[in-house]
């Protein structure tokens, strides 16, 4: 959808903000107000469940909810704006208002959030010359054009216009990244000149250098921390001698990478720190109140010493679990909040219904390699292979295909490595896997004949969401050689997998077993839809869809062992489950269970 063609108001013509500051706190419409907020990202929750989660936020005692806004989803291509389905932010804001909740809006443009690319769109980050998150005109011009589209539909949701949004964040923990004051000033003015008159704030880790680099005069500074409450508040007060004290991200859990234990935090410990915050008179935004799920290909990754992709679940050991059930922190926090602010007299919500456990037989199959042309037309590259970005693909997979000029034993060398995981096949037979996180670039292989087909299936495991490697390319990252001879003449298939409808399934009995990746399909019956969890014992790595809804990645590397299936994804009657299993499997069934399994916890 496009924004109406209207001239932006001048800064001097803006309506006075509904939320203001005093020497030591907030005023809402002129009355003392303390923000007791919880983070919940609409884009990580099925839209048919937004109202339920918002109600549970109010019942815990929250008066406000907070959400990021992912630029990369709302603007997948320059000049576009997507505001429907799981991205219908105006609807989410209206539901918050209907529940009596205020909203802290964090539109970035950078959000981190353990989200693909930190929320920056790949069409922008693919420009290797651009200086991200700076006053580089190439960056600010793209940002301005995005805000021209994004903000007009949101202006009715500002508190001054009767909506729930009482404050808007400028950037996100910018002091940990840079010190370009002109960029921050540009962004603040961009909000103002487009009609955002509500309170602006920045947030940074409670570190003097970060706070100094990430703050702006006339814009409220807030901190992010999960412990050492007195020390963190003291640093915040030293930075700004007057005004409200606020922890804009009170970390009560943490996220998980594939291959590490599941992170949890003791509920009593987190509740004690929440009590310390509120006892000090501070405002708070609990991160996360409800974490949700990295559906589809939306998870991010970190890359410090090694590349570490983030799992599908964003449960975060939050107060409300991934499936929306009150966890131990929910009840502990409710008790703490009740000591400092009114809590609804209604009882705390109970856990939601779950689908009775069952087994799903996967009776149909379609190998990927022989049918890749059905899913994506090849892009012919006569010389060296190109990256996924050069193929116009920002998520999913790319299959690279060529022929090998000689037979015999030799070494395939992938100059520059792969982004992020490559499965290699010779004449359809698997010969090895290369992973970015292990810095692997070479693979010994045996080529059975001259002219054998070489297939390289590369998976984008998630865009880096923090630090200088945001926008790192995916796919094959340089020339490929076999014993020193460059391999040219590639057919490159960019696999978006936005839909699996074209997959030519056949009954398993009619589909000969394949050692490589394959799609598997089965059906199951549902009476009354309810939440469930997909468990895949015996399966290795891949993607899962139910009724065309992309649940996300699974991987037996763990820690996550089940995928959350929201009740609205299901329908009464027959339901379809599709898996893309990347490795060979002898299994023909999966399980739907009533209990999530996010893996062993970190000691």
Residue 15's pLDDT is: 81
Query: Measured between alpha carbons, how far is 424 from 583 in angstroms, rounded to an integer?
Result: 11
User: HEC states along 102-124?
Assistant: EEEEECCCCCCCCEHHHHCCHHH
CA distances from 14 to 11, 43, 109 (A): 6, 29, 22
Whole-Å CA distances, 457 to 418, 474, 502: 10, 12, 19
pLDDT of residue 503: 96
State the CB neighbour count (10 A cutoff) for residue 218: 8
For strands 480-482 and 408-414, give the pairing.
antiparallel
Residue 439 is predicted with a pLDDT of 85
Tokens 């219904």 locate to 353
Q: Per the structure block, which two tokens stand in for 319?
A: 């107060």
Catalytic residue among 173, 198, 389, 437: 173
The verdict on whether 209 is a catalytic residue reads no
Residues 470 and 376: their CA atoms lie apart, in Å, by 27
Dump the DSSP string for 447-476: E-STT-EEEEEEE---EE-SSTTTT---EE
Residues 6+ positions from 178 with CB-CB distance below 8 Å: 133, 134, 213
Q: What is the pLDDT of residue 6?
A: 37
Tokens of 517: 């990746």
pLDDT along the chain (603 residues), means of 10: 41 80 96 98 98 98 99 98 98 98 98 98 94 98 98 98 98 97 98 98 97 97 98 97 97 98 98 98 98 98 95 98 98 98 97 98 96 96 96 96 97 97 97 92 97 98 96 97 97 96 91 81 98 97 98 98 98 98 91 98 79
Measured between its terminal Cα atoms, the distance across the chain in Å is 48
For 320-333, give the secondary structure using H, E and C. Answer: ECCCCCECHHHHHH
Q: Is 249 a catalytic residue?
A: yes
pLDDT in the model for residue 296: 98
99, 171, 198, 249: the catalytic one is 249
Three-class DSSP labels, 180-205: CHHHHHHHHHHHHHCCCCCEEEEEEE
DSSP string, 197-259: -SEEEEEEES-HHHHHHH--TTSEEEEEESS-HHHHHHHHHHH-SSS--EEEEEE-S---BTT
CB 407 within 8 A of CB 400: no
């Amino acid at each position: 959808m496009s924004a109406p063609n209207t001239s932006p108001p001048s800064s001097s013509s803006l309506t006075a903000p509904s939320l203001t500051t005093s020497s030591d706190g907030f005023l809402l419409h002129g009355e003392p107000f303390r923000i007791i907020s919880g983070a919940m990202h609409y884009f990580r929750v099925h839209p048919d469940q937004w109202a339920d989660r918002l109600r549970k936020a109010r019942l815990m005692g929250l008066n406000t909810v907070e959400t990021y806004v992912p630029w990369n989803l709302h603007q997948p291509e320059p000049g576009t704006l997507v505001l429907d389905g799981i991205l219908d932010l105006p609807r989410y804001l209206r539901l918050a208002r209907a529940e009596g909740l205020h909203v802290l809006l964090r539109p970035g443009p950078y959000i981190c959030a353990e989200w693909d690319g930190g929320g920056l769109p790949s069409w922008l980050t693919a420009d290797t010359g651009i200086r991200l998150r700076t006053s580089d005109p190439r960056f600010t011009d793209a940002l301005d054009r995005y805000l021209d589209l994004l903000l007009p539909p949101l202006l009715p949701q500002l508190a001054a216009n009767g909506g729930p949004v009482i404050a808007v964040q400028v950037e996100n923990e910018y002091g940990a990244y840079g010190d370009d004051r002109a960029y921050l000033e540009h962004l603040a003015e961009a909000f103002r000149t487009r009609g955002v008159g509500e309170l602006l704030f920045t947030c940074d880790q409670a570190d003097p250098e970060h706070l100094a680099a990430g703050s702006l005069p006339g814009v409220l500074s807030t901190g992010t921390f999960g412990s050492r409450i007195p020390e963190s508040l003291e640093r915040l007060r030293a930075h700004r001698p007057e005004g409200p004290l606020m922890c804009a991200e009170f970390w009560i859990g943490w996220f998980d990478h594939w291959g590490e234990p599941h992170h949890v935090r003791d509920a009593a410990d987190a509740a004690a720190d929440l009590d310390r915050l509120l006892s000090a008179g501070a405002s708070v935004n609990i991160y996360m109140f409800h974490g949700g799920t990295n559906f589809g290909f939306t998870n991010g990754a970190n890359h410090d010493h090694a590349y570490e992709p983030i799992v599908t679940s964003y449960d975060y050991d939050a107060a409300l679990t991934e499936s929306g059930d009150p966890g131990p922190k929910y009840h502990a926090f409710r008790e703490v909040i009740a000591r400092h602010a009114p809590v609804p007299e209604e009882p705390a919500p109970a856990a939601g219904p779950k689908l009775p456990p069952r087994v799903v037989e996967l009776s149909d199959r379609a190998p990927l390699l022989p049918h890749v042309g059905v899913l994506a037309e090849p892009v012919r590259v006569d010389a060296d292979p190109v990256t996924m970005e050069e193929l116009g693909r920002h998520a999913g997979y790319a299959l690279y295909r060529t022929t090998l000029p000689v037979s015999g034993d030799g070494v395939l060398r992938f100059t520059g490595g792969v982004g992020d995981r490559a499965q290699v096949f010779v004449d359809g037979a698997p010969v090895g896997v290369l992973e970015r996180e292990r810095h692997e670039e070479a693979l010994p292989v045996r080529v059975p004949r001259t002219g054998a087909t070489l297939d390289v299936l590369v998976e984008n495991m998630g865009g880096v969401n923090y630090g200088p490697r945001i926008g790192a390319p995916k796919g094959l990252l340089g020339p490929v050689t076999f014993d020193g001879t460059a391999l040219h003449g590639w057919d490159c298939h960019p696999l978006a997998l936005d839909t699996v409808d074209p997959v030519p399934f056949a009954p398993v009995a009619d589909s000969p077993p394949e050692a490589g990746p394959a799609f598997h399909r089965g059906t199951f019956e549902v009476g009354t839809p309810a939440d469930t969890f997909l468990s895949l014992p015996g399966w290795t790595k891949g993607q899962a869809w139910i009724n065309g809804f992309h649940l996300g990645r699974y991987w037996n590397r763990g820690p996550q062992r089940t995928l959350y299936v929201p009740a609205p994804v299901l329908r009464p009657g027959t339901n379809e489950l599709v898996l893309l299993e990347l490795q060979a499997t002898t299994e023909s069934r999966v399980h739907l269970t009533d209990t999530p399994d996010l893996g062993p916890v970190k000691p």
